[in-house]
Amino acid sequence: MAVRVFSGEWHGPCINHPNSPATPPANAAARDGTTADIGIGLLAGACSPGLESTDCPLEALMSWYKPDSSLNPAPGTLDDLLNRIVDVIQLTAEQHNRAEKVYKEIGTWLAAPGTLLAPYSPDIFPQGSMLMRTTVRPMSIKGEEIEFDLDLVGRHKIDPDVVHSGKLYAMVKQRLEENPDYKKRLEPKGRCLRLNYPDDLFHLDVIPACSDPTDGQRVAILIPDKDKWLNEQQPRSSYKESDPLRYADWFEQNTEVRQRIMEKSASASVAPVPAREPANLKAPLRKIVQIIKRGRDLDFLGQEEIPSSILITTMASRAYRGDEDLAEGLDNVLRAMNTAIKNARPYRIVVPNPTNPAEDFAKAASQACYDKFAKLIDKMSAWISKARNTPSGRRNIEPVLEEAMGKSAVAKAFNSLEASIKTAHDGGKLGAIAGGGLTILTESKASGGVQPVRSSDFHLKP
Strands 202-211 and 148-156: parallel
Closest to 294 (Cα-Cα) out of 79, 88, 89, 132: 89
Strands 352-353 and 269-270: unpaired
Rounded to whole angstroms, the Cα distance separating 187 from 189 reads 6
Rounded to whole angstroms, the Cα distance separating 327 from 284 reads 9
Cα–Cα distances in angstroms (integers) from residue 76 to residues 136, 448, 451, in the given order: 23, 20, 18
Q: Where are the beta strands (DSSP E) in 214-253?
A: 221-224, 239-242
Closest to 289 (Cα-Cα) out of 263, 267, 309: 309
Indicate the domain borders of the chain: 6-382, 390-452
Rounded to whole angstroms, the Cα distance separating 94 from 98 reads 6
Full-model pTM:
0.79
Q: What is the pLDDT along the chain (462 residues), one digit of tens a residue?
A: 222 222 223 333 332 333 333 333 333 434 443 333 322 233 333 332 222 233 332 233 223 223 334 357 788 899 999 999 999 999 999 999 999 999 999 999 999 999 999 999 999 999 999 999 999 988 877 667 788 889 999 999 999 999 999 999 999 999 999 999 999 999 999 889 999 999 899 999 999 999 999 998 889 999 998 877 766 678 989 999 999 999 999 999 888 633 323 333 333 478 888 888 888 889 999 999 999 999 999 999 988 899 999 999 999 999 999 899 999 999 999 999 999 999 999 999 999 999 999 999 999 999 999 999 999 999 999 999 999 999 988 999 999 999 999 999 999 999 998 888 787 666 665 555 555 555 554 455 555 544 555 544 444 444
Amino acid identity at 70: S
